Amino acid sequence: MKVKKVLLVASLAVFSLLAGCTSESQRLANCEAKGISRDTCYLAEQNRQASMNAAYEKQALENAAAAVQHSQSAKVKTRHFNGMEIKGTSTGLSIDGKAAAVIEKNKDATVYQ
């Protein structure tokens, strides 16, 4: 019995929230009912949609810029040798934070400087 009451209250809350939603045609009809021309109402509706899309796009770009991307840094392998910190990066090898240059490439090994 208690579950039915909770479901009833939840469904009433959802219906009351959805009752405030209006469609584009309803907004145009309300605008025309105020005595405003159909062209002006249509233009106002287009501007409303464009401003909402711009706000959504701005928020999406901000969210994308603030995203923490773990996968690129997850596989960084750091080795320590003779007091040096050696890391494999996307551009090659870095030693103590400085890019290492390849000075010799043999069949057995690659020599960095």
**Tokens 């025309």, residue located:** 32
- What's the average model confidence in pLDDT over 73-95? 76
Residue 32 CB-density burial (10 A; 0-12 exposed, 13-18 middle, 19+ buried)? middle
Does residue 17 carry a pLDDT above 60? no
Q: What is the pLDDT of residues 40-81, one digit of tens each?
A: 999 999 999 999 999 999 999 998 887 776 666 566 678 888
Give pTM, 2 decimals: 0.42
Distance of alpha carbon 32 from alpha carbon 38, whole angstroms:
6
**What are the extents of the domains in the chain?**
22-67, 71-112
pLDDT at 19: 60
Q: How far apart are CA 113 and CA 101, in angstroms?
A: 5
